[in-house]
Amino acid sequence: MTPHVSRDELLRRLKALRDEASKSGCDLVYIANATSIFYFTNLYFIQTERPLALLVPLDSDPMIIAPSVEKGHIEYRNKAFGGVVNEVVYYFDYPGETSFVELAANVIASQLGAKCVMGDLQSGAQPLYGYRGVSLADVLKSRGLRWLDLGDFVYGLRLRKSDEELKLIEESGRWAARALEVALQVTRPGMWDWEVMLDASRQVLMEMNNFYKPYTPLKEPVGPVVGFRGQVGEFSAFPHALFSERPIREGDVLGVGSGPEIGGYYAELERTFVVGAPNNDIRRLFEYMLRLRKAAIEAAAPGVEVSKIDAAVREEAKRLGVTDLLRHHVGHGIGVEIHEPPYLDIGYRARLEPGMVFTIEPGIYVPGVGGFRHSDTFVVTREGVRQLTRFPEDLDELVVRP
């Protein structure tokens, strides 16, 4: 089975959460965000109209309120992945005869006898997946309970990664490197990007499965591990392209990435490939991208303002005359989500601290030609930054030989 954070680490996280509530005189924490529930329990659930919440009383084990579609599944996964949830209250389905929020209020007030709840979502359930109903904060207030907002406390906890987390991210990075290696071998002119994705993914997933016996991501069903997303030739000039209208051709710039989920964590590794001998234009743009990347890596160090990294890249871009070709900031935090704080952006107000993990991926994008971007994942240490993903960076090692 794939590794994941230990029960001890989950218990430390829960203690931090309880301490925060306790400081404000609250006796229960209410968590509705799916990623946060995962962060405290190693349990993840497919998001639909049916809400799900984690209750963390100060003096007893965490409890989950869940739709019966998760019956058996929660108990099974709780046992397999850390076992911090001791009780589950099931409701049949949404909208049901009693609203989820009324049920949650009953459990909190009557069953658990809480007087003050600190929570991450006033409404009690995420409306984005279809849930509509009364607000939990309102229902609790009407029953004489206090509601306090947890704000971004969980994001704060997630910001500095532990050694256990770093190991998972680094392991994701190792498989990502293997995936790009296979993608480079598999790619041929005439193929569609999704053929490369499916063929390379099949091969690497088999290797991962044989290694872990079996490979079991915690948050997602097993899916492709090579991402291509239509970054083919002129379409790669759109950093968030979704498809290309044509197969891969000789001369194309390709954007390929990977970062398989390991125990709920991700690294990000992306490379710019070129199909066949690169022309001089491509060589020059590729070289500019490498220089921007170097500027970013050199600017990153513990204690440095995060915004300075993005500023350093903009300065280098100005020097090279490619400011107009930038399309996004230098990078983003990564961990249990693929994008999370800190954002390596000129407007992000914080300093780099040991344990922060983020991508460095300045890119330049030339309409009609293509996009040039490598992405690697780094962690801030006491001494500097450490690169968690490794793969060749030079153009000559990233050529698809037709």
Near a copy of itself by CB under 8 A: residue from 59, 221, 280, 383? 221
CB of 292: closest distance to a copy of itself in angstroms?
15
Q: How many residues bind a copy of itself (CB under 8 A)?
A: 78
Residue 372 interacts with a copy of itself (CB under 8 A): yes or no: no
Residues 6+ apart with CB under 8 A from 176: 225, 257, 258, 259, 260, 267, 268, 269, 389, 391
Q: Tokens 């280098």: give the residue.
A: 316
Residue 78 interacts with a copy of itself (CB under 8 A): yes or no: no
Q: Which of 224, 236, 189, 247 is nearest to 373 (CA)?
A: 236
C-alpha angle 246-243-339 in degrees, rounded to nearest 5:
150
Report the residue number, 16 or 369, with the smaller CB distance to a copy of itself.
369
Residue 192 interacts with a copy of itself (CB under 8 A): yes or no: yes
**Footprint of a copy of itself on residues 127-186 (CB under 8 A)?**
128-130, 132, 152
Whether residue 363 contacts residue 239, with contact meaning beta carbons closer than 8 Å, is answered with yes
Residue 113 interacts with a copy of itself (CB under 8 A): yes or no: no
CA–CA separation, 351 vs 301, rounded Å? 9
**Coil, helix or strand for 360?**
strand
Residue 359: Cβ within 10 Å count: 25
In degrees to the nearest 10, what's the CA dihedral of 394, 395, 400, 402? -140
CB of 33: closest distance to a copy of itself in angstroms?
8
Residue 293 interacts with a copy of itself (CB under 8 A): yes or no: no
Q: Which x/- pattern over 38-77 shows residues binding a copy of itself (rule: CB under 8 A)? A: ------xxx-xx-----------------xxxxxxx--x-
CB of 84: closest distance to a copy of itself in angstroms?
19
Near a copy of itself by CB under 8 A: residue from 8, 220, 250, 281? 220
Whether residue 44 contacts residue 37, with contact meaning beta carbons closer than 8 Å, is answered with yes
Residue 341 interacts with a copy of itself (CB under 8 A): yes or no: yes
CA–CA separation, 151 vs 273, rounded Å? 42
CB of 386: closest distance to a copy of itself in angstroms?
24
CA–CA separation, 118 vs 156, rounded Å? 16
Binding segment (CB under 8 A) for a copy of itself, from list 10-18, 181-189, 235-243, 381-389: 235-243
**Footprint of a copy of itself on residues 342-361 (CB under 8 A)?**
343, 345-348
Report the residue number, 37 or 237, with the smaller CB distance to a copy of itself.
237
Report the residue number, 145 or 312, with the smaller CB distance to a copy of itself.
312
Residue 23 interacts with a copy of itself (CB under 8 A): yes or no: no
Q: Which x/- pattern over 297-336 shows residues binding a copy of itself (rule: CB under 8 A)? A: -----------------------------xxxx--x----
Report the residue number, 27 or 193, with the smaller CB distance to a copy of itself.
193
Q: Please say whether the dihedral angle defined by the alpha carbons of residues 157, 158, 163 and 164, taken in this order, is positive or negative.
A: positive
Whether residue 397 contacts residue 271, with contact meaning beta carbons closer than 8 Å, is answered with no
Report the residue number, 236 or 389, with the smaller CB distance to a copy of itself.
236
CA–CA separation, 192 vs 181, rounded Å? 18
Report the residue number, 6 or 33, with the smaller CB distance to a copy of itself.
33
Q: Tokens 């949404």: give the residue.
A: 94
Residue 252 interacts with a copy of itself (CB under 8 A): yes or no: no
CA–CA separation, 160 vs 326, rounded Å? 29
Residues 6+ apart with CB under 8 A from 125: 32, 51, 53, 100, 101, 131, 133, 136
